[in-house]
Every structure is written in structure tokens, then in C-alpha cells.
Structure 1
Amino acid sequence: MPIRHLIFALFLPVTAWAQSPLSEIEWLDEPSPVRLPGTVLLEPPVTQTGLGPEIDVSPLEALPPILGLVSPSVTGLPIDLWRGSAPARLEALISTVSVRQNPAMQTLLYTLLLSETRAPVGSGDQLLLARLDRLMALGATDPAQALLQLAGPTDTQDRFQRWFDATLLTGDEDRACAALTAAPHLTLDYAAQIFCKARRGDWQSALLTLEAAHALDLLPADELALLDRFLSPDIYDGAPPLPQASRPDPLTFRLFETIGERLPTASLPRAFATADLRDIAGWKAQLEAAERLTRVGALTPNHLLGLYTERRAAASGGVWDRVRAVQQFETALQTGSEAAISKTLTPVWEAMKAVNLEVPFADLFADQLGPHSFNDAEIAELVWKIRLLSPAYEDAARTPLVNTRENAFLAALAMGEPNTARPSSPLARAIADGFNPQTPIPQELTEMILDGRLGEAILESMTLFANGAKGNHGDLTSAFATFRHVGLEDMSRRAALQLLLLERD
């Protein structure tokens, strides 16, 4: 299917884009550190003699290309985000940093992965492949495919393999197969060559290659059996189904689909859910895949809403109850009746909580809920907290509400001033400490920032945040102090509000 690069900017909510570029952040206005490279001038040079200055000569290394889908003018991140960092350390951080429970952290990770940046000099494809692998692990298959196509998917076998996998899941495999037909050296996988020859209409060559694979034992027996049925379906008409693959790769998944034995994706890695978004999947499969991907920010809430409202629920229980709840709530919103909205809000909110979709719901409906006044105090407070989870959190904070200690702290936090209110819990205290301008950031992170290793410092801070969310409040304080130090104010507030308002295990 066609890939439009512009849509990938939708992975970055508008509030994330609105932050000041990192070239304007506070720490750059502080006195320059002592340890500056010799090429940085603190003031215009002044000559003391008429002689020409001495010139230091050092060899130049070719700069890696700038790769990304979103401009620095949108993300606020510099091109040299990864400068000076060890590629192996970046790879480890990108692959392991946990963002599953916090949508703000998900947004930040997508921003890092999709922003136009330059890899460290001499790192080869290590950083690019790490970015691609994490995008695929998150289920962001379309952006991974687009990033590869921008980088040059046929430049190396490693790039091609990832591109081929992505296109198999997005339904765009004909493009990758055309490239493989033109350059068979791109893969040593005979199964891929057989599949692509058949897709390109060269059935005779595909059959000959399969016969050679049988004769020379070039493929495992289960792959050979699957390819036999793919190329000769008439021979196996009425045969019992093949044993299901427990850990299929994208090609195996598509081959099972082609022979009419489609594998369920719920137990497979998240990237496979992308395949269920295609029209050939049933509505229930599309709904469940969309929920799974939206939960980690790999799909926009509007896409999920479109599926929720596509038609009437076909049954009851599970996803059908969520479909019905969303449709009833949206109908109530359209009537403008505050009584109808009050009646349908609690059921739909509970339905969204059950599948950890509170923030996407808030992003979709907070603005429509804002103008309404509700006589029911519980509904009014629920609406207020939904708005705090949305990009309009500051507007919500200005709205008067029952002034409990918890609510006063939430409002102060939304305004970026949590230290003006009494923390309502140890978690709130850790957050307030992180927002205190006097709180120092860890020495190791300070050195990274001063060395220009900004991307690495942000990833390390995200790791601290993940530890802090599990109960290590000291790490949480350090994470927020660092985020705010490098200008990630909006993200810090949203992440903190989500920590306090979302019920996560």
C-alpha cells in the first residue's frame, strides 16, 4: 500500500511539537563549560601580530547522511542528537528503554526515532538498524518502512531484510519483491526468493528453485511443506491443515495467509498486528489490532475511532462492548445533552480503562467535553481529569473544581508549578522535587549534556523514569529534573500527570 511520509508526523502529538527547540533551551544560555572543543570560539578572534595564525590540520571523516521522517523544526531536536555517543550504548538504550505504561514516554521515543538526525561518525548502520528494530517492536511498521525507503533499502542485506519484513506486514511486498528480482544477492533466503518469483508471476522459476531446495535440503522441512502448498495449492486441496508456526517470521505469516490458514496475531509480536489493519482481515481483528497499536502510540486515536464507529457491534462482550460504549457516547456528544453525556461517559471511560486507552480517549474527546458544565460532582471531576490527560491540560487546570489536596496538586502540576501545592503522596513529592529548579541532575547526565550527547542523555533519563514509575522515587526525581533541564517541559508535565492519574500495574 502507498506510504505517505507526511502521516508519520502524526505520531508526534501537537503538544510535543510546540515545545521550544532545544537550541533555545535554558542550559544553552548558561556560561559555556570549560571543556570545549578547540574549534568553538567564545568571542571573535583578535590577532596580536601581522603573522598568519597557526593552523591545526586533522583528517576529515565523511559525515553520515541525515535520516529521519520529521524535521528538526517540528521535533525541536538537533541534527547532531547522537553526536559523540558510543553506537553500542545507543543501540542498547533504544532497544531496552521501557515506554509501555506511559503515553508521554512513547511520544518521546517516537520523536527520537523519527526525527531527522545524523548517526555518530564511523558507526555505519548500527544506529539506523536499532531505530528500525525498535519501531518494528513497537508496531510502527509503516514508519519503519518509510524510513528504510528514505535510507536506501537495497544498500545492504540487513536493510533489505527489514524492508522485506515490513512490506510483508503492510501489504506492500510487491515493491520489495521487484527489488529482489532485480538484485537476487540481497538475500540468501531461498524462501524469500521463491515467494517473490511467484509474486512476480515467474511460477516456473519459483518451482525450479523449490525443487532445488528440496534436493539440497536448503530449507527446514516445515518451510518446504508450506512452500509446496503455496506453489501447488491444487495438489493439497482437502489436505489437513499444517501445524501452526509458534514463532513465525513475516514471510511465514504471509505464506500461511496465502494458503488459507491465517495465523491469529494476538500472541505474535506487535508488528504483526499491522497486517490485521488491512481490508482482508475481519472487523473484529481490525478492532483488536487497532487497540493494541494505539495503546503504544503506533496508531493514531482517530484511526481507532474510525473503526469503533464503522458499523454496529456484531455481538456482546469484549471489544463489542467497547464499540457500543464509544458509539453511544459519541451520539450523546452530538446531541449536546449534558444528561446524555453524563449517562454514557462513565461506561465508556471504564471500557477505555480496561484496555489502557484512557489517553487516546482524552485526546479524542477532551475538547468536546470542555465547554459543558455538569451538575453531578463525580462526572464533573471525571471530565476535569480527562482534560488533564489531554493536550489541553493547562486549560483544565484553570477551571475551578472541588479543591481537594490531590486536585490542588494536579492543577499546580499542570501549570508547571507543583511546588506551590502540598504533595498528596510520596509519588507526588518525587514529582515535585523533579520540578524544583534547585534539584541537581545526576553528574553522569550533566557530563553527557555538556559533551553534546543529548540523545543519549534523554534515553538514560527515560530509563530513570521507567525505574521511578516502578517505585524508585529518587530516579523519578532525577528523570524529571533532566527532562526539564533540556527543555522537555510539555512532555514532563504530561508524563507526570499520567503517572498520577492512570492506574497501571
Structure 2
Amino acid sequence: MALTLPQSAAAQEGDQTGRPLSAIDWLSESVSAPDPLTAAPARPRPRPEGEAPIAETAAVPQVTVLPLGSASPDPLGLLAPSVTGLPRSLWSGSAVDTLAALIAAERIDTLPAMRDLLRVLLLAEADPPASAGPDGALFLARIDKLLDLGALDPAWELLAATDPDNPALFRRYFDVALLTGREGQACRLMASRPELAPTLSARIFCLAHVGDWPAAALTLNTARALGDVTAREDALLTRFLDPQLFEGLPPLPIPERPTPLDFRMREGIGEALSTLDLPRAFAHADLREINGWKARLEAAERLVRMGAVDEAVLFGLYTLRRPAASGSVWDRAAAIQDLDTALAANDAEAVAGALPGAWTAMQAARIEVSFARLLAPRLADIPLEGEAATLAFRIGLLSDAYEEIARDRTPATEQERLWIAVATGAPLPEPPRSQPAAAIQTAFEGMPAPDRLMDMVGEDRLGEAILRAIALFDSGQSGDPGALTEALAFFRAVGLEDTARRAALQLLLLERAP
């Protein structure tokens, strides 16, 4: 079927501000639709006398469906209590709205120890709050924070486990599918569940995706005739369905808030958007082998920084080939390659020469902990001396083997003695030289955890208390020593000793401005 092309210049209008998007502004816009309970009723069009009734819109009616007896997805998780060490009653005594608000407010630009703890909470399998309903408000808040972090794979696993059966779940399922190359699954589900009510753009995309181009064109032509698509949607969909007709014409204006569907369709017409100013979830698209090495490196750094992909992905890319240029990410790749070559040769002198440059590069990228987790075990096998040995020790304290590495070290300075005490949970030396060290010392010397948080624990509100303690720690990192002490004391009191030690070490070792 021929596609009728729009003639109006309005089809080319758009927004291009160049401002970075906030992390979740894009979420679900791909398949959003007006709330049928609040949307204004459509004004009926006059019908000539004798003409048969016709549909007023090409869109599938918006229907919100919750099956009778539908179970809440809130209990779903990827980490069992035996893995997390957290009880099933993690959320039981809390109010759903409170938990959702706390999760949404948690910072993600924090130390890795806090981000790792937040991720455990997001993925934990636990009983829902007593007030939880089938809408899964807590589950959705957890999914949204995973998307904020850019952790699309666990988000997908959780969403797929729900068999998304309502619009709120499906919107997220559809967007994650688009960003991870699983759009075929989402389109098949959409076709079998019309009550999920996608927008016309999503329906047309899926019709084209399965190869039914005539139906896609007919749907667009009908929607255009009925005024059910905006000029911007019309322009993009028209090019998507017949891109050859637009060869040689200027690209479409970039919208202020591209959705995953915008992103995929623009990619399909050869007008791919840069992901650098988009939410980090979009960076997954740049990890594909079809992209250039630089784009893949930048995307991997961005995602590893948030713990959204395994650090091995990034370091595999760093060593993929020799950089042909210099500056920024190329310099980091070269520094890692030099260190990797020295480590492979078991050449202590070469390692000592390459390690400072590699560490400086990782500091610039703010991925020191990922670097330590991956390379500290290899560094431990090299007999280093002097400044190189001191640096390797510091890196080792940021790794998973921090306690073992600390016990094997004879401290050479007061600073190292402090680090070792934190890593092993031993009494801290006195007097601390910095405000953070003093706050850490107070917590590690047995200061009781705040009553307000411990009361929550006794009320089956442990998850809520941990979320509040994470926020306290972030306040402490920003200069509130009392909040820092309270957070660390709480973590230790509820058995999160490893988290407390890691967080304290990272605060002391990374010397990172809040």
C-alpha cells in the first residue's frame, strides 16, 4: 500500500535544546496514553446523512485491566533471602507510598558501597507491605530506580517474570525491550494483549517490525486523516516506513526528550542519536559490535560507573585493540593496556611503571572500585616495592579481598594504620586527622545505632530503615559527620558489617568530593 506523505512544513518542526535529560523523564512515553478516567471526551465529528458509522480514531481504546485476584508483583526478586542475608519481612511493616518515595529519592551518584546496597534492596525477594495492592507500586519504584541506574538486564528479568499484564508494567517492559534488542518479544506480546493499549506509534512500529508494512502504512494514513498523530510523530513514522523517499533531505529535528521508540526508529532511518546526553539506560545501545570502538568504550565506562554492567565488559574493550588516537578514553585504554601487558609478563618493574598511570586514568573515569575488583588479585601476585607497593595496597583495599589484603600488610604510616583498622574492624588509632575519620572512629568504637532506625527494624521495616541509612550516609559524605556516624553505626548493628567497612574505606581512599 502506498504511503501518503505529509506536505506540511509543520511535520519538520521539533525541539532541540541540547540539555541533558533527567534520568527517568523518558520512561514509558513510548506507549503512554491518556487516563480514560480523566481524559476529556473526544468531540464527535459530524457525519453526513446516510453515511455508515465509522471509528473516530485508529487507536486501540485505553483500558486499564487488573485481572480478578491478580497478585501483586511486589514480592518478586532476583536475589533470595539466603543470598542477600535480609529477611523476607524486609518491607512488611512499611507503607508502600513511603517506600516508593524513598527509593525514588535515593542518590545514584554516591559511593559504590551505597549503590551496591541499594541494588541488593532493589533485587531482593521479599514479602510485600501489608498494604500492597495488585498495582505493584513498590515493584514499579524498584524497576524505575534500576532504569535510573542503567541496569537494564535485571530490570528485564524482573519485568519478564511478571508476564506484564497491565499498562504500567508493559510500558516499562516495552521500553527496556527497545533498548536491549528484545523488541520482537514486546511486539508479540502487544499483539496478543490489545488491552495493554499502546500508542499508535508503538503499534505502527510493531506492525513494521513483524513485516506487515501495508498494515502499518494503512494505520498511519488513517490516523493522519483523523488527526490522531502529531506533526512530529507523523514525520518520524513516515520516514520510518519509507526512508528511501527522504534520501538527501536534512535530518529531522532532535526532540527535547527522545523516547526509546524515537531512538530505535531514528536508528532505523539512519539518523541515530548520540547517547551521551541521553539517560544512561540508552548507553546499552552503544555496546553493540556494530558501533565504533570509541562509542562502545564511552558507553561501557558510563555504565560501569553505576554498576550497571560487569567491569569485565569494559576492561575487555580497553584491551580490544591499540588506540590510534590520544586524549580522554583513548589515553585510558592505552594506560590499561600497558598495565595489562606488564601483568601478563609478570614484570614487576614494568608493572611499577604502568600502575600509576592506570590508576590516574581510573580516577579520571571514577571507576576505581571496578578497576580494583578486577585487577587487585593480579597485582597481589607481583612483588612490588616502594611507592608501587603502597599504591597496590591502596587499590587492594578497594577490592573484594580488602580484609585479607589489610591483614597481610605491615602499616608504614599512620594513614595505613587507619585503613587497616577499618578494613579489619579493629579499634581505630587516635587521634584521627580528618573529620570523616573521626566520624568513622566514633561509629566503629561501638556507638549505638539511632533509636529511630532500630525501632523500624523491630516493626518489620528493615528495608525502610536501610534506605534512610543510605540517605544518612550520603549526607555524611557531603559534610555532616553526625549523619555519617549514625549510618555506619546502623549498618554494623543490623549485620551489614561488610557494607560499613567498604563504605568507610571508600570514603577514606577515594578522596572524592560529594
Coarse TM-score class (shorter-chain normalised): 0.7 to 0.9
Structure-2 separation of matches of 1:331 and 1:418: 40
Q: 2:242 aligns with which of 225, 232, 235?
A: 232
Do structure 1's residue 81 and structure 2's residue 90 form an aligned pair? yes
- Report if aligned partners of 1:408, 1:421 keep a CA contact under 8 Å in 2: no
**Residue 95, structure 1, aligned to residue 96, structure 2:** no
Match of 1:196 in 2: 206
Matched positions, count: 442
Give the residue type in structure 2 aligned to 1:72.
Answer: P
Distance 2:485 2:74 in 1: 36
In structure 1, distance between residues paired with 2:229 and 2:415: 62
What's the CA shift for 1:435? 1.7
| CA displacement 1:291-320 (0-9 Å, x = unmatched) | 000001111111111111122213211111
CA distance in structure 2 between the partners assigned to 1:136 and 1:418 by the alignment:
40
Equivalent-residue separation in structure 1 for 2:320 and 2:74 (angstroms): 43
Instruction: Kindly indicate whether residue 189 of structure 2 is the aligned counterpart of residue 182 of structure 1.
Output: no
Structure 1 Cα separation of the partners of residues 303 and 74 of structure 2 = 30
In 2: Cα distance, 1:499 partner to 1:418 partner = 18
State the AA in 2 paired with 1:274. H
In the alignment, which of 177, 180, 196 is matched to residue 167 of structure 1? 177
Q: How far has the Cα of 1:80 moved from its partner?
A: 2.2
Q: Determine whether 1:391 maps to 2:395.
A: no
Deviations 1:20-40 (CA, angstroms, capped at 9, x unpaired): xxxxxxxxxxxxxxxxxxxxx
- Name the stretch that deviates more: 277-286 or 472-481: 277-286
Alpha-carbon distance in 2 for matches of 1:218, 1:476: 54
Query: What amino acid does structure 2 have at the position aligned with 1:308?
Result: Y
The residue type equivalent to 1:69 in the other structure is L
Please report how far the alpha carbon of residue 64 of structure 1 lies from its aligned counterpart in structure 2 after TM superposition.
6.5
Q: Distance in 2 between matches of 1:157 and 1:148?
A: 12
Aligned counterpart in structure 1 of residue 157 of structure 2, from 124, 146, 158: 146
**Deviation for aligned residue 1:404:** 1.8
Which residue of 296, 303, 317 corresponds with 1:293?
303
After superposition, the Cα gap between the structure-2 partners of 1:197 and 1:286, relative to the gap in structure 1 and judged at 3 Å, is same
Residue 275 of structure 1: how far off its partner (Å)? 1.2
Partner of 1:15: none
Q: Distance in 2 between matches of 1:65 and 1:317?
A: 46
**Mapped contact 1:135–1:141 kept (Cα < 8 A):** yes
Q: Does 1:465 align with 2:473?
A: yes
The answer to which structure, 1 or 2, has the higher relative contact order (CA under 8 A, 6+ apart) is 2
Q: Which residue, 406, 409, 413 being the options, matches 2:422? A: 413
- The alignment yields a C-alpha RMSD, in angstroms, of 1.6
Residue 505 of structure 2 is aligned with which of 491, 497, 502? 497
What does residue 40 of structure 1 align with?
A: none
1:305 aligns with 2:315: yes
Task: Kindly indicate whether residue 300 of structure 2 is the aligned counterpart of residue 282 of structure 1.
Answer: no
Partner in structure 2 of residue 481 of structure 1: 489
Superposition deviation, residue 400 in structure 1: 3.2
**2:42 aligned partner:** none
Q: 1:69 aligns with which of 78, 86, 93?
A: 78
Q: Which residue of 1 aligns with 2:219?
A: 209
Letter in 2 for 1:462: I
Partner of 1:436: 445
Structure 2 partner of 1:47: none
Contact 1:301 1:361 in 2 (8 A): yes
Residue by residue over 1:35-58, the C-alpha shift from the partner in whole angstroms, topping out at 9 and shown as x without a partner, is: xxxxxxxxxxxxxxxxxxxxxxxx
In structure 1, distance between residues paired with 2:182 and 2:503: 36
Letter in 2 for 1:384: F
Runs of 4+ in 1 over 6 A off after TM superposition: 61-65
In 2 relative to 1, CA 418–425 (structure 1 residues): closer, same or farther, beyond 3 Å? farther
Correspondent of 2:142 among 131, 139, 146: 131
The Cα of 1:421 is off from its aligned counterpart by 4.9
Q: Is the 8 A contact 2:179 2:282 kept in 1?
A: yes
**Which residue of 112, 126, 129 maps to 1:120?**
129
**Further displaced range: 162-171 or 301-310:** 301-310
1:418 CA displacement: 4.1
Structure 1 residue runs of 5 or longer lacking an equivalent are: 1-60
How far apart are the structure 2 equivalents of 1:186 and 1:249? 18
1:238-249 mapped onto 2 (5 Å cutoff): 238-249=248-259
- In the TM superposition, what whole-angstrom CA distance separates every residue of 1:368-417 from its partner, at most 9, and x where no partner exists? 11133323x22111111001111111122123345322111111110012
- What is the distance in 2 between the residues matched to 1:428 and 1:336? 36
Give the Å deviation of 1:142. Answer: 1.2
Cα offset, 1:432, TM superposition: 1.2
* Contact kept in structure 2, 1:338 and 1:372, CA below 8 Å: yes
Stretch deviating more after TM superposition (219-228 or 352-361): 219-228
Shift of 1:193: 0.5
1:192-216 deviation per Cα after TM superposition (whole angstroms, max 9, x unaligned)? 0110011011111111111122122
**Distance 1:418-1:227 versus aligned 2 partners, 3 A rule:** farther
Q: Which amino acid aligns with 1:285?
A: A
- Normalization by structure 2: what TM-score? 0.83
The offset of 1:65, in angstroms, is 6.4
Asked whether the 8 Å contact 2:74–2:132 carries over to 1, the reply is: no
CA apart distance, 1:118: 2.4
> Which one of the candidate residues 248, 253, 268 is aligned to 1:258?
268
In structure 1, C-alpha distance between the alignment counterparts of 2:320 and 2:346, rounded to whole Å: 22
Q: Report how far residue 62 of structure 1 moved.
A: 7.7
Structure 2 CA distance for aligned equivalents of residues 168 and 297 of structure 1 = 21
Q: After alignment, is 253-262 or 415-424 more displaced?
A: 415-424
Do 1:113 and 1:131's aligned partners in 2 also have CA atoms closer than 8 Å? yes
Task: Tell me if the contact between 1:419 and 1:435 (Cα under 8 Å) persists in the aligned partners.
Answer: yes
What is the TM-score with the length of structure 1 in the denominator? 0.85
In 1, the alpha carbon distance for the partners of 2:369 and 2:225 equals 55
